[in-house]
C-alpha cells in the first residue's frame, strides 16, 4: 500500500474544481470571506502589531502584502502575519469535530503566494478547499477517541501546515515527488501547544502552520526531499503524536465525503465551546429584561470540552477572556450582547461582570454534545429562568447565514478600512471565484486603510 502522504499528494494535485460538489464550492467562498474579515479585524490588535514588528526585523523582502497594514514582507512571513491576525480575536472558523481552525493557515499561504504570481480566484478556491480537507482529515485521525494523543496539542499547528503545503504545491505547480516531499516537510514542522491559550501566542500557532506549509513548498521546490512515511510510517507524525491513530481514517472516502462541510463560523469572538453557554444566557436576559444586579446565582451545564479548554474563572486580560467561559456568561448577562465590545479590557474589568462571575457555577454534563448547554438563572426575588440550547448559533445545524457572515465581515473590516473599501472588498470576496487575480484582495485590504492606531 502506498503511504498516506502519496495518496494525499494525488488528491491535492489531481482533483479538479468540477470534481467538487456545489455545496463544497459554496463553503469555500464563505470560508474565504470569513477569513479575510477576521484577518482585517485582527490586524489592528496588539498581538498583530507585535508580530509585524518581530517579522519586520527578520524580513528584508517586500513582495507580499499584510492585510490591514502597509507593511510588505517576504511570502513566508506575510503568511504568518495574515494568519495570525485572522486568529487574533479568536473569531476564526472551526472544524467542530476537532476544534482545528482550517481556513487561516491555508488562505494566508495562498494570499502570500498571490503577490508573487498571478493566481485566478477559481484556482485559489480549489486549492483552499483541498488544503482544508487535508487539514481536517488529519485532525480527525489524531483527535479521535482512543488515539493516545494528548489534549494539550493545539491541533491547528499540527495539521494546518500540511494542508497549507498541499495548497501551495498545487498553486506553484510542483511535481508529484516535490509535493510528496513538501507534505513530509510540513509534517516534520508540526507544532503547537494549548498552553499558549490566554497569551499572544494563541494566535501565533496558526501563524506557524501557515509558515510551515509555505516553507515546506518552497524547500521542496528547491530540491529538499523528505521521506514519504513522515505521517503514517515508523516514527512518523501519527505514531509519535497519536500512537493508536488509524492512518486509513485520513483518506477514507476521500473525494466522496468532505470534512470541510463540518466547518463552522463563529458568531462570537471567543472559543467555540463557549458559544452554547452564550446563547443560553442571551436567550434568558434578552427575553426577560433582567438586571444583572438582581441575579442571585447562575448554573450552567456544558460539554466537557468547555471546562477543559475555557476554565479561567477570573480573566485579567483580553486574551484570558477569549478562553474564559465565566467571562462570557457574565458579560452576556450584564450587557445582553457578546461581540467585540464585550471582548475588550473594559468589559473584562467591568465590576458588574466580575461580581457576577462569583455567582456562576459551571458543571460538566456528559450527556450534552459540544453545541449544547443548559442555563438556570435564579434571582434574589425567587424567580427562576431556564434555557436549553440544543444547537448553538453557528453550529452545523444552525449555521450562520450569508447575511450574518456579511454583517460580521463588515463589522470586522470597518475597524481598519473606510466604508467604501469594506463594501468593495466584501463584494470581491463574494465573487472571487470569477476573478483572474486573487491578489486584488490584498490590494483592496491595504489601500482603503483608516489611520492606524496600533
DSSP per residue, 146-171: TS---TTB-HHHHHHHHHHHHHHHHH
Question: pLDDT value at position 389?
Answer: 97
Question: pLDDT value at position 59?
Answer: 83
pLDDT digits (tens, 9 = 90+) for 273-321: 999 999 999 999 999 989 999 999 999 999 999 999 999 999 999 999 9
Neighbour-count burial for 22-31, b at 16+ CB within 10 Å, e otherwise: eebbebbbbb
Overall CATH class of domain 4-265+399-447: mainly alpha
Domain at 272-389: CATH code: 3.30.1330.120
Widest Cα–Cα separation across the chain:
73
pLDDT digits (tens, 9 = 90+) for 411-442: 999 999 999 999 999 999 999 999 999 999 99
Question: pLDDT value at position 289?
Answer: 87
C-alpha cell at 356: 457576577
Q: How far apart are CA 272 and CA 328, in angstroms?
A: 11
Q: Which of 171, 57, 183, 188 is nearest to 122 (CA)?
A: 171
Question: pLDDT value at position 451?
Answer: 72
Chain region(s) in the chain for CATH 3.30.1330.120? 272-389
Which residue stretches of the chain have pLDDT < 70? 452-454
Q: Which of 139, 127, 132, 138 is nearest to 168 (CA)?
A: 127
Question: pLDDT value at position 295?
Answer: 96
Chain region(s) in the chain for CATH 1.10.4100.10? 4-265+399-447
Determine contact, residues 137/85, Cβ cutoff 8 Å. no
In 3-state terms, the chain is what percent helix, strand and coil (to 5)? Answer: 55, 10, 35
Question: pLDDT value at position 452?
Answer: 59
Q: How far apart are CA 422 and CA 418, in angstroms?
A: 6
pTM above 0.85, yes or no: yes
Question: Left, alpha or beta for 298 (phi > 0: left; psi -120 to 50: alpha)?
Answer: beta
Amino acid at each position: 500500500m502506498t503511504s498516506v502522504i502519496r495518496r494525499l499528494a494525488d488528491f491535492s494535485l489531481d482533483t479538479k474544481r468540477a470534481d467538487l460538489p456545489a455545496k463544497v464550492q459554496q463553503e469555500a467562498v464563505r470560508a474565504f470571506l470569513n477569513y479575510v474579515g477576521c484577518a482585517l479585524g485582527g490586524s489592528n490588535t496588539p498581538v498583530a502589531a507585535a508580530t509585524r514588528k518581530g517579522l519586520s526585523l527578520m524580513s528584508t523582502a517586500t513582495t507580499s502584502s499584510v492585510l490591514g497594514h502597509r507593511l510588505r514582507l517576504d511570502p513566508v512571513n506575510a503568511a504568518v502575519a495574515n494568519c495570525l491576525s485572522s486568529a487574533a480575536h479568536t473569531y476564526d472558523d472551526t472544524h467542530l469535530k476537532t476544534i482545528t481552525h482550517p481556513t487561516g493557515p491555508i488562505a494566508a499561504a495562498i494570499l502570500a503566494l498571490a503577490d508573487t504570481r498571478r493566481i485566478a480566484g477559481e484556482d485559489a478556491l480549489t486549492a483552499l478547499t483541498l488544503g482544508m480537507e487535508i487539514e481536517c482529515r488529519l485532525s480527525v485521525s489524531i483527535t479521535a477517541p482512543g488515539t493516545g494523543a494528548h489534549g494539550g496539542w493545539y491541533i491547528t499547528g499540527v495539521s494546518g501546515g500540511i494542508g497549507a503545503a498541499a495548497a501551495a504545491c498545487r498553486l506553484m505547480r510542483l511535481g508529484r515527488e516535490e509535493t510528496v516531499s513538501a507534505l513530509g516537510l510540513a509534517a516534520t514542522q508540526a507544532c503547537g501547544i494549548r498552553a499558549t491559550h490566554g497569551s499572544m501566542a494563541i494566535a501565533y500557532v496558526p501563524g506557524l502552520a501557515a509558515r510551515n506549509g509555505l516553507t515546506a513548498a518552497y524547500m521542496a521546490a528547491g530540491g529538499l526531499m523528505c521521506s514519504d512515511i513522515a505521517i503514517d510510517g515508523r516514527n512518523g507524525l501519527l505514531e509519535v503524536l497519536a500512537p493508536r491513530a488509524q492512518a486509513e481514517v485520513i483518506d477514507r472516502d476521500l473525494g466522496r465525503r468532505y470534512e470541510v462541510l463540518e466547518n463552522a463560523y463563529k458568531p462570537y469572538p471567543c472559543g467555540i465551546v463557549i458559544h452554547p453557554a452564550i446563547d443560553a444566557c442571551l436567550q434568558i436576559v434578552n427575553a426577560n429584561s433582567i438586571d444583572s444586579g438582581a441575579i442571585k446565582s447562575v448554573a450552567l451545564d456544558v460539554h466537557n470540552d468547555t471546562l477543559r479548554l475555557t476554565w479561567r474563572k477570573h480573566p485579567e486580560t483580553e486574551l484570558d477572556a477569549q478562553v474564559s467561559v465565566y467571562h462570557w456568561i457574565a458579560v452576556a448577562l450584564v450587557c445582553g450582547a457578546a461581540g467585540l465590545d464585550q471582548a475588550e479590557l473594559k468589559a473584562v474589568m467591568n465590576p458588574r461582570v466580575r461580581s457576577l462571575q462569583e455567582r456562576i457555577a459551571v458543571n460538566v454534563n456528559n450527556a450534552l454534545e459540544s453545541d449544547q448547554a443548559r442555563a438556570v438563572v435564579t434571582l434574589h426575588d425567587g424567580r427562576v429562568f431556564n434555557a436549553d440550547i440544543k444547537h448553538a448559533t453557528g453550529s452545523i445545524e444552525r449555521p450562520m447565514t450569508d447575511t450574518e457572515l456579511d454583517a460580521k465581515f463588515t463589522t470586522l473590516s470597518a475597524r481598519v478600512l473606510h466604508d467604501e473599501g469594506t463594501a468593495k472588498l466584501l463584494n470581491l470576496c463574494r465573487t472571487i471565484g470569477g476573478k483572474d487575480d486573487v491578489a486584488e484582495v490584498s490590494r483592496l485590504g491595504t489601500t482603503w486603510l483608516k489611520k492606524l492606531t496600533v
